Amino acid sequence: MLGELQRRFTAEDPEFVRSFEDVDRSTQWSLESIYAKPAWVFTVALVVAVAVAVLMMLLQAPATAFTFAAVATGIAVLRHHRCKDAGARGS
């Protein structure tokens, strides 16, 4: 049934179908797309994640606080790798 709909859309308007393929390609995430973000994005994300983790601890929600602390750790690791990779490419 889904295949039939896809064939019908392709027959009626091929440009419409191609527009979905373009969107699919442009929304793919990779480490390169993450590393391409400006450095301030990592800083803001890290500050927000830490602030929410502290707030959750104050509100006595340790599971949520731990989750945001893990997110902050992941952001810090990505930022560290981004800086290290940028230094390796620059030399």
What's the burial of 75, exposed, middle or buried (CB within 10 Å: 0-12/13-18/19+)? Answer: buried
- pLDDT, position 42: 83
With contact defined as beta carbons under 8 Å apart, do 68 and 52 qualify? yes
Residues 42 and 86 in one domain: yes
- pLDDT, position 87: 58
Residues 17 and 42 in one domain: no
pLDDT > 70: what percent of the chain?
Answer: 75
Residues 55 and 71 in one domain: yes
Write out the residue range of the structural domain in which residue 60 sits: 37-91
- pLDDT, position 29: 64
Residues 22 and 56 in one domain: no
Mean pLDDT in consecutive groups of 10 residues from the start of the chain, 91 residues? 78 77 61 75 88 93 93 85 62 44
Residues 23 and 41 in one domain: no
With contact defined as beta carbons under 8 Å apart, do 53 and 68 qualify? yes
How many domains are there within the chain? 2
Q: What are phi and psi of 74, to 5 degrees?
A: -60, -40
Residues 47 and 13 in one domain: no
- pLDDT, position 91: 44
